Chains A and B, each alone.
Chain A
């Protein structure tokens, strides 16, 4: 079993829709929770970073962590065609390594 499982997708939504991307993890030692966005033919770039349970909001993006159920989510409000990309969840510990989900490819249609 993988340490981080990500809903596989792909996901296709109309412009303006609310998008929900989800991951589960198995290791209680994970302390850092991240979402990366990867555009086609580019390297991943950090989108959201959180250290604790609860919600973190940045513009149209909200990251949600529930440590009790080992569940992490990314919500995108008012989705735009420019949000079309692959989204990778990641978790990490103080040891420095991160473990990545397999990614969910999102397409937002105009």
Chain B
């Protein structure tokens, strides 16, 4: 089984809808991250969490919110989706002793 899972894998929605992307991990890592990837723009950090009670904004947090429900679960919400939030979204985890991150398979989100 995959160590980092994301649901859904693909989602098409309409402008103004609320969307939640979920991430679960079995690696036992404290640190979790949400990124978006757009063609030519690489990975941009949305939010990150170093433990259950720690939530931090990344470089592009506007329009997004997160919830760290447990050590293993980190959800990303788009309160009112807009077309320029169409992108590939990745969840990642890391141990506190290393910079190496482990990525999930990604969620392809399309906002019409």
> Which residues of A approach B to under 8 Å, CB–CB?
6, 8, 32, 34, 41-46, 49, 88, 90, 92-93, 96-98, 100-103
Top 6 nearest A-B pairs (CB, nearest first) are A43-B103, A102-B42, A92-B99, A32-B99, A100-B43, A44-B103
Chain B: interface residue total (CB-CB under 8 A): 24
- Contact residues of B between 72 and 104, Cβ < 8 Å to A: 90, 92, 94, 96, 98-104
B40 touches A96 (CB 8 A): no
Taken together as a complex, chains A and B put the C-alpha atoms of A49 and B40 apart, in Å, by 23
On chain A, the residues within 8 Å of B4 by CB distance are: 43
B100 touches A46 (CB 8 A): yes
On chain A, the residues within 8 Å of B105 by CB distance are: 42-43
- Closest chain-A Cβ to B51's Cβ sits at a distance in Å of 11
List 17 A-B residue pairs with CB atoms under 8 Å apart, sorted by A's residue number.
A34-B99, A34-B100, A43-B90, A43-B92, A43-B103, A46-B100, A49-B100, A90-B99, A96-B48, A96-B96, A96-B99, A97-B45, A97-B58, A98-B101, A100-B43, A102-B40, A102-B41
B103 touches A45 (CB 8 A): yes
